Structure 1
Amino acid sequence: MDASSKIYNSVAVVTMNYNGNLNGITVAWIMRSSINPKILAISIGKQRYSYELLKKVNFFGINLLSVNQINIAKHFGTISERNFNKFEGINFKMSKNKIPILNGVVAYLECEKIGDFEAGDHNIFLGKVNFEEIINNEKVLLYGEHKFWRD
């Protein structure tokens, strides 16, 4: 285990809609990058199908998962949308920009993509938050040391 694995992060499902093709991917590499305007950064592996779609879309959603949503994190983190509809059997609603909002999440932030750049084997996508909502007050699921943490 390397020292960087000691960095703990909130777990989210990043959702998007490319011409009616709904997609989501579990991410733990999320960070604030500006307060005014509010800008967030997410890091996605270039080999991921979601990377291909994020390059094409204008908006994406960040669904912060609760400690009770480990199964959702695993679902969106282990199955490729390229060959499977990840949203089958998943409860969600659509935002005004037609981005999936997962039921039961702690919070939802919708971002307009304002840029992206390469970072080694990943790509950093920058999003300006244009809508955000705290949905419940449960604890946020964390990821660190290569596993999920509830506390």
Structure 2
Amino acid sequence: MTETEKNDLFKNIFKKFNYGLYVLGGANSDSEDLIICSWVMQSSYNDGEVVINIDGDRPIYSLIQKAGIFTISVLGIDNLDEAAVCALSREERKEKLGSLNLGRTADDIPYLNNSLAYFECNYTDSVKMKSNVLLVGTPVDGEILSEGESLTLHDYYKLLG
């Protein structure tokens, strides 16, 4: 098997994985951002930490490092429009963030007010990978905002056509 064939095989296998869709929020006094992410997981039931995988070149990473805090909004099946905005390029996203129904934590970190739930985390660590970064956070506050079915990556692709 050639290297290209192997890469194509694994890309197709990885497309079979299913993840929930979330929005990662970060801010400091100068800037704020909300990005879509699908790699969010609870790292330990007892410790309550979460791990988020993002591209290490995304500006939100430096926002989170500086502020020491971030939010995760849990998207529902009805949050397709919000997911689409948060998946845009940074410049396009900046223009459309004002159209989102945002809530703010006591630390002024944005979250999606019409998501299923959100939680705020203290940023505790990160692990640099090849091109991505694993963010580690400890939840400190949050709220269940509505009931409903979680939006998954597979749902998102189906709904987009």
Greater Cα shift, 18-27 or 108-117: 18-27
**Paired residues of 2:126 and 2:134 also in contact (CA < 8 A):** yes
TM-score with structure 1 setting the length = 0.88
Give the letter aligned to residue 102 of structure 1: L
Cα distance between partner residues in 1 of 2:122 and 2:156: 30
Displacement, 1:137?
Answer: 1.0
**Paired residues of 1:5 and 1:146 also in contact (CA < 8 A):** no
Aligned to 2:3: none
Cα distance between partner residues in 2 of 1:109 and 1:14: 10
Aligned to 1:42: 52
* Structure number having the greater strand percentage: 1
Give the letter aligned to residue 138 of structure 2: K
Q: In structure 2, do the counterparts of structure 1 residues 35 and 83 end up closer, same or farther at CA, with 3 Å as the change threshold? A: closer
- What is the DSSP-based 3-state SS (H/G/I as helix, E as strand, rest coil) of the residue aligned with 1:78? coil
Residue 129 (structure 2) pairs with residue 133 (structure 1): no
Give the letter aligned to residue 15 of structure 1: G
Displacement, 1:123?
Answer: 0.3
Give the letter aligned to residue 32 of structure 1: Q
CA RMSD, Structure 1 to Structure 2 (Å): 2.3
The structure whose Rg is larger is: 2
Cα distance between partner residues in 2 of 1:131 and 1:26: 20
Aligned to 1:87: 97
Displacement, 1:36?
Answer: 2.4
Q: In structure 2, do the counterparts of structure 1 residues 81 and 129 end up closer, same or farther at CA, with 3 Å as the change threshold? A: farther
Aligned to 2:4: none
Q: In structure 2, do the counterparts of structure 1 residues 83 and 110 end up closer, same or farther at CA, with 3 Å as the change threshold? A: closer
Give the letter aligned to residue 102 of structure 2: F
**Identity of paired residues, percent?**
22
**Paired residues of 1:117 and 1:125 also in contact (CA < 8 A):** yes
Aligned to 1:18: 28
Q: Determine which of 53, 65, 71 is the counterpart of 1:61.
A: 71
Aligned to 1:33: 43
Cα distance between partner residues in 2 of 1:104 and 1:83: 18
TM-score with structure 2 setting the length = 0.83
Q: Which runs of 5+ in 2 are unaligned?
A: 1-10
Cα distance between partner residues in 1 of 2:53 and 2:47: 20
Q: Which runs of 5+ in 1 are unaligned?
A: none
Aligned to 1:73: 83
Give the letter aligned to residue 12 of structure 1: Y
